[in-house]
Amino acid sequence: MRTAIISDIHSNLTAFEAVLEDIGRQGVDRIICLGDIIGYGPNPVQCVDLVEQRCAWSLLGNHDFGVAYEPSNFNKIAEDAAFWTRRELERHMVDHPEETMRRWNFLHRLRVQVREGGILYVHGSPRRQINEYITPSSPYDDPRMMQSIFNLVDSVCVVGHTHVPGVFTNDLEFYKPGDLPEQAYVITPGQKAIVNPGSVGQPRDLDPRASYAIMETDDTGAPKSFRFLRVEYDIQETVDRIDGITALDSRLGRRLLDGQ
């Protein structure tokens, strides 16, 4: 089976549609989402609808949680975006109550983890599924943390949250997609790996193109490989949409231009 793995859309409809178009050319069997469908960006309603329609399932990200419940531990810019997103999801209640409730029910049903075929899927980390960051520097800055995380991984764990694509191995190395042959990581028997597909709507690896990954599994559902892909989209269109919403800080748009 070929599974497209997306994460961290962050209400960036233009990027999401470009990624879905690219996925359509890849011959995948399904799409899954690791969370943070909403937050930061200008089109939360459309992004929630597309995830519900196109994805086999989605996880709960910290920004999804912040909108659906409470934006705890957010900075001012993220908190303001979360409250605006909530208002945007609620403003259709009078004219379209059934659609509005369907979206809220969808968000409230999102799970914090999924296990399939020996693979663990979380938004943040196996220790704190919603909001722990595993960054490219973590293996070198905090090897104890990484060891405790890998102790919770049977074979492969797939995460989002940092918006940086790549692979962590249990020998405490991090591989960027550019470090891998043909931007693909092949599973080595006996080695554990944590894979991050990067972000669709808010890349933060200084490459502004949308990022996602395709996972190949065998007949038992066990992972064989992960291939990383980048997709160009009209970034300025998203920037302009953000600039047109007074409740959203313009820096949320500007940073898209450089992938920061």
First to last CA, the chain: 33
Cβ pair 43, 13 in contact under 8 A: yes
Query: Is the predicted pLDDT of residue 94 greater than 80, yes or no?
Result: no
Percent over 70 (pLDDT), the chain: 100
What is the pLDDT at residue 120? 98
pLDDT category of residue 92 using cuts at 50, 70 and 90: confident
Work out whether strand 156-158 and strand 193-196 pair parallel, antiparallel, or are unpaired.
Answer: parallel
* Mean pLDDT across the chain: 96
Angstrom CA distances, 209 to 125, 170, 181, 206, 224, stand at 24, 29, 20, 9, 26
Q: State the Cα–Cα distance between residues 122 and 161, nearest whole angstrom.
A: 9
Q: Which residue has the tokens 């089976």?
A: 1
Angstrom CA distances, 122 to 201, 254, 256, stand at 18, 29, 24
CA-based nearest residue to 4, from 226, 204, 244, 221: 226
What is the pLDDT at residue 72? 84
pLDDT category of residue 187 using cuts at 50, 70 and 90: very high
Q: State the Cα–Cα distance between residues 120 and 247, nearest whole angstrom.
A: 36
What is the pLDDT at residue 73? 87
Taking only the tens place, the pLDDT of each residue in 30-82 is: 999 999 999 999 999 999 999 999 999 999 999 999 999 999 889 999 999 99
Angstrom CA distances, 7 to 4, 66, 83, stand at 10, 16, 21
What is the pLDDT at residue 93? 79
The encoded tokens of residue 237 equal 């269109």
Q: State the Cα–Cα distance between residues 258 and 214, nearest whole angstrom.
A: 24
Query: Is the predicted pLDDT of residue 153 greater than 90, yes or no?
Result: yes
Taking only the tens place, the pLDDT of each residue in 98-149 is: 999 999 999 999 999 999 988 999 999 999 999 999 999 999 999 999 999 9
All structural domains of the chain? 2-252 (3.60.21.10)
CA angle centred on 54, ends 74 and 116, rounded to 5°: 80
| Average of per-residue pLDDT across 10-28 | 98
